[in-house]
Amino acid sequence: EAGVAQSPRYKIIEKRQSVAFWCNPISGHATLYWYQQILGQGPKLLIQFQNNGVVDDSQLPKDRFSAERLKGVDSTLKIQPAKLEDSAVYLCASSRQEKAGNTIYFGEGSWLTVV
Amino acid sequence: AQTVTQSQPEMSVQEAETVTLSCTYDTSESNYYLFWYKQPPSRQMILVIRQEAYKQQNATENRFSVNFQKAAKSFSLKISDSQLGDTAMYFCAFMSRATLLIQGAQKLVFGQGTRLTINP
């Protein structure tokens, strides 16, 4: 079974530029997550989708961050304009959510450096 | 809101030794799930072990075991016979069972992590 795929793996941009990250979850996984992990900290949930609907985006900085999962499969996270404090690893994860406590599987992450 | 606290930013042990990583959490719920994830330098989160709060028996997975103290809201990870490949960041995470009421609402809340180094 293929894992959660993310691209690009690494990106360096200047502040005020824009960037987009792509995620393809494990086949059949209805729930998709985007987490932000700043160096030295634990991951923080940015947005959570169930199929193509948003379940939780309470911690997404909506003035600069946006995410979509139009067909309920792959997803794109966009940052525009980027700030220095957005430098982090962006982790995508997915889960079946068919029963309680389903395991959440993570991709390898997209590393963003804003200079 | 639930919170997860890992009070040991870094730990270091010799290969083959046993090491215990600490985790405490805060919740008003009685049913939930707890996890330990390993994050090597590649940054991919890998599930190490999980515990269901309504099960009194501590979970074990080969060299990994937990000490789950529900009343104390403590969930420590013990790694026996540590190996060089165990070197990584370790994250404790909480998942509410109450979110089952909402389809697709289950999520993980992570602690700050413990950097574990196994020395040869």
- Minimal Cα–Cα distance from B109 to chain A, Å? 7
Which candidate from B6, B104, B112 shows the least CB-CB separation from A50? Answer: B104
**pLDDT given for residue A99 in this prediction:** 64
Average pLDDT score, chain B: 92
Measure the CA–CA gap between B95 and B25, rounded to whole angstroms: 11
Residue A66 touches chain B, beta carbons under 8 Å: no
Residue B99 has what DSSP assignment? G
Res. B1: pLDDT tops 90: no
Query: pLDDT digits over A56-94, tens only?
Result: 999 999 999 999 998 889 999 999 999 999 999 999 999
Query: pLDDT digits over A22-63, tens only?
Result: 999 999 898 999 999 999 899 999 999 988 899 899 999 999
Query: pLDDT digits over B90-111, tens only?
Result: 999 999 877 656 666 788 999 9
Phi, psi of A75 (to 5 degrees): -140, 155
Contact B33, B50 (CB under 8 A): yes
Mutation for B interface: A104, A105, A111, most B CBs within 10 A: A104
Phi, psi of B100 (to 5 degrees): -60, -25
Phi, psi of A3 (to 5 degrees): -85, -170
* CB within 8 Å: B102 and A41: no
Residue A89 has what DSSP assignment? E
Measure the CA–CA gap between A23 and B120, rounded to whole angstroms: 37
Length of chain B: 120
Mutation for B interface: A32, A87, A90, A97, most B CBs within 10 A: A97
What is the tally of helices (H) and strands (E) in chain B? 0, 12
- Minimal Cα–Cα distance from A64 to chain B, Å? 23
